[in-house]
């Protein structure tokens, strides 16, 4: 395509972005691969939770089945609500509300082993940090969409300092609980959104340096985090040793479903913090790799959705959601293999729990909704190439027809 044709196509894409996006209609069905992977992981989770706790009765199965049912409803709602709904004033309500609830948790939250991470009581308790991380990502996506519209991507104040203040403000509240693992994941996923949004590299380096300093201070100054780090460094990590025994005893094909030995109180919280160890023991190396492949597929398709969506907001939000879920899986597997200190992070969609399962499934529903709004190919008539006028060869041709990929507010490409 010539320069003139390129400019015409680019102008077409920009015009459609300015006019069409506010009332843009879904151009595709939801991504069936992402839906299949998420539902499969949920079913695997319900099965494994029961297999790990069946010797205690069916109470865990009932509770996890109920949570999975509510979570699938949340998945459906997230997939039905138009994702651009979140790019309004609601994103500010979500961010401010998340910060307020995190502060409330520090004041009146449930105390458990020197940490305050939950509100409520008994079966009706929940962990606000699990929802705050996605509220922050929604705000970041909407904020960077505004930055892009106003051409402020190269401004340190608008593209780095202000969003960085929001990120470290939320992370500071989660560190105060303390929840170091969750804080780490939130920071890394947020930085991924910064990168996708096109923030300049030296701005990112400044934020990265601040993040490193913040986590060093957290590990050295917070007794809970310092104790876990010292135990890991000195090789005193009983749970991870038992996790490695479970994974190693599974061999290539595993002991079989429900045949785990470590679940008999050798490895506490196996149905939650170390459920990957159960996968390794009961399904072996083959089963462990299969589950890891499911998360890899989810990550690749999530980034594919991010790359194909028709708006900047959708691109940023899809990438943030994908990174959070994938990082949770990576951290959980790394803890189970003894590669990093114990963090207490669940395996997304699989581990027992309510807050993480509900928030992750609702976020996955948003990702599915974003997958419906893809960039479209449009056939346009462009003038003939000027080369024919300078070097006339053969018969003169009429207006050329080109398929132009309309990129929304990103312009157009042939």
pLDDT tens digits, one per residue of 11-26: 444 334 333 354 566 7
Residue of 220, 123, 121, 119 lying closest to 175 (CA atoms): 220
Burial level of 150, CB count in 10 A (0-12/13-18/19+)?
exposed
Q: Both tokens of residue 312?
A: 């900047």
Residue ranges of alpha helices (H) inside 197-274 are 201-221, 223-233, 238-249
pLDDT in tens, 51-100: 888 888 888 889 999 999 999 999 999 999 999 999 999 999 999 999 99
- What 8-state DSSP symbol labels residue 85? G
ω before 173 within 30° of 0 (cis)?
A: no
Phi and psi torsions of 266, nearest 5°: -75, -35
Cα–Cα distance, 53 to 32 (Å, whole number)? 32
pTM of the model: 0.84
pLDDT for res 180: 86
Q: How far is CA 338 from CA 69, 261, 277, in A?
A: 32, 19, 11
pLDDT for res 317: 96
pLDDT for res 375: 74
pLDDT for res 8: 38
pLDDT in tens, 124-146: 778 899 999 999 999 999 999 99
Residue ranges of alpha helices (H) inside 54-127 are 59-80, 90-108
pLDDT for res 24: 63
Yes or no: say if 28 and 288 are a contact pair by the CB < 8 Å rule. no
Q: Both tokens of residue 94?
A: 């979500």
pLDDT per residue, tens digit, the chain (414 aa), is 444 443 433 344 433 433 335 456 676 789 999 999 999 999 999 999 998 888 888 888 899 999 999 999 999 999 999 999 999 999 999 999 999 999 999 888 887 777 788 887 766 778 899 999 999 999 999 999 999 999 898 889 999 999 999 999 999 999 888 888 889 999 999 999 999 999 999 999 999 999 899 888 888 888 878 888 888 888 767 888 888 999 998 899 889 888 888 888 788 778 888 899 999 999 999 999 999 999 999 999 999 999 999 899 999 999 999 999 999 999 999 999 988 888 888 999 999 888 899 999 999 999 999 999 987 655 555 565 554 444 444 554 455 444 444 444 433 333
pLDDT for res 2: 42
pLDDT for res 388: 47
**Extents of the domains making up the chain:** 33-370
Residue of 348, 332, 413 lying closest to 378 (CA atoms): 413
How does strand 376-382 pair with strand 115-118? unpaired
pLDDT for res 13: 40
Widest Cα–Cα separation across the chain: 85
Residue of 331, 335, 333, 342 lying closest to 231 (CA atoms): 342
Cα–Cα distance, 97 to 16 (Å, whole number)? 35
Q: How far is CA 388 from CA 8, 166, 379, 399, in A?
A: 18, 56, 22, 12
SS3 of 28, please? Answer: coil
What is the CB neighbour count within 10 angstroms for residue 120?
Answer: 11
Phi and psi torsions of 258, nearest 5°: 80, 0
pLDDT for res 332: 94
Yes or no: say if 155 and 164 are a contact pair by the CB < 8 Å rule. no
pLDDT for res 410: 39
Phi and psi torsions of 262, nearest 5°: -70, -15
Yes or no: say if 218 and 175 are a contact pair by the CB < 8 Å rule. yes
Yes or no: say if 276 and 290 are a contact pair by the CB < 8 Å rule. no
Cα–Cα distance, 9 to 147 (Å, whole number)? 24
- What 8-state DSSP symbol labels residue 31? -
Give the torsion through C-alpha atoms of 300, 75, 42, 66, to 10 deg: 170
pLDDT for res 207: 92
């Amino acid at each position: 395509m010539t320069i003139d044709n390129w400019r015409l196509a680019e102008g077409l894409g920009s015009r459609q972005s300015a006019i069409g996006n506010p009332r843009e209609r879904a151009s595709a069905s939801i991504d069936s691969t992402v839906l299949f992977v998420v539902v499969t992981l949920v079913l695997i989770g319900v099965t494994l939770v029961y297999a790990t706790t069946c010797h205690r009765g069916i109470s865990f199965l009932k509770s996890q089945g109920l949570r999975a049912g509510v979570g699938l409803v949340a998945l459906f709602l997230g997939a039905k609500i138009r994702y651009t709904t979140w790019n309004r004033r609601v994103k500010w309500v979500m961010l401010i509300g998340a910060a307020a609830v995190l502060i409330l948790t520090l004041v009146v939250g449930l105390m458990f082993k020197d940490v305050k991470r939950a509100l409520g009581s008994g079966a009706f308790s929940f962990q606000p940090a699990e929802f705050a991380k996605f509220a922050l990502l929604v705000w970041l996506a909407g904020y960077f969409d505004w930055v892009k519209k106003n051409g402020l991507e190269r401004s340190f104040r608008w593209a780095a300092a202000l969003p960085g203040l929001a990120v470290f403000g939320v992370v500071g509240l989660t560190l105060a609980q303390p929840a170091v693992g969750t804080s780490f994941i939130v920071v890394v996923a947020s930085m991924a959104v910064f990168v996708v949004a096109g923030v300049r590299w030296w701005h990112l380096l400044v934020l990265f340096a601040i993040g490193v300093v913040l986590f060093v201070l957290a590990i050295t100054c917070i007794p809970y985090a310092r104790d876990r780090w010292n135990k890991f460094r000195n090789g005193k990590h009983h749970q991870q040793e038992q996790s490695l025994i479970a994974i190693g005893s599974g061999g290539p094909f595993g002991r079989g479903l429900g045949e785990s030995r470590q679940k008999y109180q050798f490895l506490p919280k196996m149905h939650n913090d170390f459920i990957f160890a159960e996968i390794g023991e009961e399904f072996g190396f083959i089963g462990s790799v299969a589950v890891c492949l499911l998360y890899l597929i989810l990550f690749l398709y999530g980034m594919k959705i991010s790359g194909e969506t028709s708006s900047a907001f959708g691109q940023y939000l899809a990438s943030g959601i994908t990174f959070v879920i994938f990082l949770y899986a990576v951290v959980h597997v790394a803890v189970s293999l003894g590669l990093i200190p114990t963090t207490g992070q669940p395996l997304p969609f699989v581990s027992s729990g309510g807050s993480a399962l509900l928030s992750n499934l609702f976020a996955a529903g948003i990702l599915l909704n974003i997958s419906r709004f893809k960039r479209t190919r449009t056939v346009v008539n462009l003038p003939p190439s000027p080369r024919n006028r300078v070097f006339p060869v053969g018969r003169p041709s009429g207006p050329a027809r080109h398929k132009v990929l309309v990129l929304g507010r990103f312009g157009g490409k042939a």
